[in-house]
């Protein structure tokens, strides 16, 4: 990179630059053969989703958005671009791919106690724990292949035939999220991250003697942990449970709690469009259980203007658009609805008003990833 990008010594997660000019070292796709420099318009959100991998004097492996009508490239939000020095394996794969040396491959990372959709975010931010020694299996086309994750939680299974595969992960002491269906085309690769959740035991020290309740999921089920409250002894409520008397010299062993059966979950897809039919890219949507905003989940739409709330099945949810644009601003005309109780995935559609469109007309264009 030769101009723009991060300020000297600025943390990549806080980058706020509007452009980066790069000297082309290697070109793979989308650039003219004689291109020596390229300008990338940057639309990153400081502290959100991904770092800004553009720093003067450093090389970047760029996955740019499709150019706009004026031929300008863009990058930002949840980019796949990275500092080249941080992803030598990815860079080597890209080089092999464009030399015709790759075969259909599925790869990814496995993290402890994180949903698959958040694995890249938490591991790239050095906040999560990569899981070494997890067994990842890929099943499809009449065959079962497997690999074991390394110390970085990475796995790779290559030499596949193009088609659809089911990917899952397992490790002793951990429970997975289930199966993921992955499509691999041509000589390309598909990335499928996975999360495994520990079947934990708890040990600790109680400072003050007295009566205590030992309980699993004390706040009740959530979409991420869909298990009801279960007290030691099998009771499902505090009224039915018996407290444990702890004295200054108490030592307890073998206090096991069996969790309840996992509750079913579903997805509520919230589709947002402007009056002209274009998808809304920057917004904050809240799905609240039974109108209780204290039990809610906030999500943002993807490039197609769809925000997906993962919720408990069999419960009604209030859906509301809380803000739109970046920096976020409240709507001029509020949008809200109720998703009735049920077990099937549902879709809720909101068309925002012309007044909001005019207020946020400088919202960045939705992007198409290469």
pLDDT in tens, 156-203: 999 899 999 999 999 988 888 888 999 998 888 899 999 998 776 556
Positions of CATH 2.60.40.10 in the chain: 102-198, 265-359
- CA-nearest of 362, 342, 170, 183 to 265 is 342
- Return the pLDDT at 327: 65
Confidence of residue 367 (pLDDT cuts 50, 70, 90): very low
Is the pLDDT score of 261 beyond 70?
Answer: yes
Higher model confidence: residue 177 or residue 317? Answer: 317
CATH of segment(s) 265-359: 2.60.40.10
**pLDDT in the model for residue 203:** 64
Over 90: is that where the pLDDT of 7 sits? Answer: no
For residue 337, what pLDDT is reported?
92
94-121 average pLDDT score: 89
Distance CA 123, CA 86 (A): 13
Q: Per-residue pLDDT tens for 206-224?
A: 667 888 888 888 878 888 7
Tens digit of pLDDT for each residue in 339-358?
A: 999 999 999 999 999 888 88
Lowest mean pLDDT among 34-48, 230-244, 280-294, 323-337: 280-294
The confidence score (pLDDT) of residue 202 equals 58
pTM over 0.85: no
Architecture of domain 102-198: Sandwich (2.60)
């Amino acid at each position: 990179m030769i101009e723009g990008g991060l300020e000297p010594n600025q943390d990549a997660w806080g980058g706020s630059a509007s452009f980066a000019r790069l000297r082309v070292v290697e070109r793979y796709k989308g650039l003219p053969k004689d291109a020596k420099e390229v300008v990338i318009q940057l639309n990153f959100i400081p502290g959100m989703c991904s770092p800004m991998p553009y720093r003067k004097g450093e090389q970047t492996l760029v996955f740019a958005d499709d150019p706009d009508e004026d031929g300008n490239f863009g990058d930002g939000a949840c980019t796949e671009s990275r500092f080249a020095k941080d992803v030598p394996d990815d860079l080597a794969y890209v080089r092999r791919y464009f030399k015709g040396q790759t075969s259909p491959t599925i790869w990814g990372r496995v993290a402890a106690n994180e949903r698959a959709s958040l694995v890249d975010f938490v591991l790239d931010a050095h906040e999560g724990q990569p899981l070494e020694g997890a067994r990842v299996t890929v099943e499809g086309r009449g065959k079962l292949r497997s690999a074991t994750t390394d110390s970085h939680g990475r796995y790779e299974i290559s030499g596949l035939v193009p088609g659809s595969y089911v990917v899952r992960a397992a490790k002793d002491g951990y429970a997975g999220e289930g199966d993921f269906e992955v499509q691999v085309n041509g000589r390309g690769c598909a990335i499928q991250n996975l999360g495994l959740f520990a079947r934990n035991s708890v040990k600790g020290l109680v400072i003050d003697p007295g009566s205590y309740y030992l309980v699993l999921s004390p706040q009740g089920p959530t979409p991420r942990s869909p298990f009801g409250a279960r007290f030691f002894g099998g009771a499902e409520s505090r009224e039915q449970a018996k407290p444990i008397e702890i004295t200054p010299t108490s030592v307890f062993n073998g206090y096991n709690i069996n969790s309840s059966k996992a509750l079913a979950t579903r997805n509520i897809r919230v589709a947002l469009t402007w009056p002209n039919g274009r998808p809304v890219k920057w917004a904050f949507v809240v799905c609240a259980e039974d109108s209780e905003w204290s039990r809610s989940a906030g999500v943002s739409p993807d490039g197609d203007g769809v925000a997906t709330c993962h919720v408990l099945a069999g419960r009604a949810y209030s859906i509301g658009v809380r803000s739109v644009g970046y920096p976020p601003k409240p709507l001029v005309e509020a949008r809200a609805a109720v998703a009735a109780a049920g077990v099937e995935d549902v879709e809720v559609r909101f068309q925002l008003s012309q007044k909001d469109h005019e207020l946020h007309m400088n919202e960045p264009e939705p992007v198409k990833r290469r």
